[in-house]
Amino acid sequence: MPSSAKILDVGAGTGAYSLYYAERQHEVAAVDITPKHIELIKEKSSKRALPLEAYVADAMDLSRFASGTFDFVLCFGPMYHITAQEDRVRCIRECLRVLRSGGHLAIAYINKFSILPMLATRDRAFIRDSVIDKVIQDGVIQDGDEDCFWTDWG
């Protein structure tokens, strides 16, 4: 990585990666769909006067940024929250659009089966036939479902 890169952290959460790179004086833009996460990033970065801007934005619409703006795009959060194939494609296309020619895109993805061992070690109350069947058959449990064990926007 060059000594000074422009980095976009898509689905930044509360800013672990954004803050790490901004502390190393890279110019960072962080986006997340959750306003509370963006507030936390802004609070943390302002205390240290870091080169970091944070915005509430949907990973599938990065229109706030011009094409070819970033040296690196990190997309570590959205893919396991975006459940429709066409929306995942939209997210990847947007990440590629804002990436400069020769830049690097890093994407993390957690497959649908990973949730079962997590539940077995963290909250065994959700290890029941209805949850296991929903994970295996649909691969998606959404906020509001009877078997939901998280909220998407908290």
pLDDT tens for each residue of 90-100: 999 999 999 99
Q: What is the pLDDT of residue 17?
A: 97
In the structure, what pLDDT confidence band is assigned to residue 137 with cuts at 50, 70 and 90?
Answer: confident
Ordered by start, the domain boundaries in the chain are: 6-107, 112-154
Give the Cβ contact number of residue 151 at 10 Å. Answer: 9
Fill in the amino acid letter for 39.
E
Tell me phi and psi for residue 148, to 5 degrees: -70, 135
Statement: residue 116 has pLDDT above 60: yes
Residues 6-107, CATH architecture? 3-Layer(aba) Sandwich (3.40)
6: DSSP letter: E
Give the Cβ contact number of residue 3 at 10 Å. Answer: 7
pLDDT tens for each residue of 32-82: 999 999 999 999 999 999 999 999 999 999 999 999 999 999 999 898 788
pTM of the entire predicted model: 0.79
∠ CA 124-36-117 to the nearest 5 degrees? Answer: 20
Statement: residue 154 has pLDDT above 60: no
